Amino acid sequence: MNAAPLSTMTTDTAAPRTAIEPSILYFGTPVVLLSTENPDGSSNLAPISSAWALDRTVVLGLGRDGQTAQNLGSRPDLVINLPDPALWPAVERLAPLTGRNPVPATKAQGCRYEPDKFTVAGLHSAPSHTVRPPRVAECPLQLEARAEQVRPDVSGDFVIVEAVVRKVHADPRIVVPGTNHIDPATWSPLIYNFRHYFGLGPELGHSYRTQTPVQTMP
């Protein structure tokens, strides 16, 4: 498969669009599980979909009142764990939980305090190499990082975190053998699409900038 063929340019340009006021704009981004360190040295774990990478920096958007934002304001180490689509039930078990006690009034209705989110989610911790919080053993991709900048967003309700990645751990099954490349044919992120969970469909094509070696079938 090569770069974009001309046939993808046959979209109906006359198709109507409806002006709407959606309550959320979560248009489909990967889910990450952030492990951070609580004040007592225990670990917090939180699902986040506002995450994207710029070279070695991962930008995160976090609710100001959550335990994760509080932790990163004082203890900058974190692990950005990437679950695959099969892990969505564990992610959803984490959804109504906070590591903050008492639960702030700004949290969603039904949110409750949970000091041991790993156990409740059915996930296991693995020690990190360069940061204090643990990795999530079940996640095929784990990025050890440090929050170098934590600042309020324009609304004041969120903080924007710039985390610089220090070490990457990958399940060998998603790595092109003998290289440092993640194989996009075997790795799929878990996508949060307007509060519904999806995996990726089959590959459509690739960027002209890809550096992943082409895999030939045995």
Which residues does 69 contact at the CB level (< 8 Å), separation at least 6?
62, 63, 150, 158, 159, 161
Q: Note whether 98 binds ligand FMN by CB under 6 A.
A: yes
3-state secondary structure of 173: helix
Looking at the Cβ atoms of 124 and 194, the one nearer to ligand FMN is 194
Distance, in Å, from the CA atom of 6 to the CA atom of 1, rounded to the nearest integer, reads 13
3-state secondary structure of 55: coil
Candidate segments 72-80, 97-105, 143-151, 198-206, binder of ligand FMN by CB under 6 A: 97-105
Q: How far is the CB of 196 from ligand FMN (least distance, A)?
A: 10
Do residues 94 and 46 touch, judged by C-beta distance below 8 A?
yes
Candidate segments 3-11, 89-97, 138-146, 167-175, binder of ligand FMN by CB under 6 A: 89-97
Looking at the Cβ atoms of 46 and 174, the one nearer to ligand FMN is 46
Positions 24 through 83 that interact with ligand FMN (CB under 6 A)? 31, 44, 46-50, 61-63, 66-68
Q: How far is the CB of 70 from ligand FMN (least distance, A)?
A: 8
3-state secondary structure of 157: coil
Looking at the Cβ atoms of 31 and 123, the one nearer to ligand FMN is 31
Candidate segments 90-98, 122-130, 146-154, 202-210, binder of ligand FMN by CB under 6 A: 90-98
Planar angle of CA 108, 61, 134, nearest 5 degrees: 90
Instruction: Please identify which residue in the block is written with the tokens 């991962």.
Output: 58
Question: Pairing state of beta strands 51-54 and 57-63?
Answer: antiparallel
Rg (CA), the chain: 19
Positions 139 through 198 that interact with ligand FMN (CB under 6 A)? 192
Residues in contact with ligand FMN by the rule CB under 6 A: 31, 44, 46-50, 61-63, 66-68, 91, 95, 97-100, 111, 192
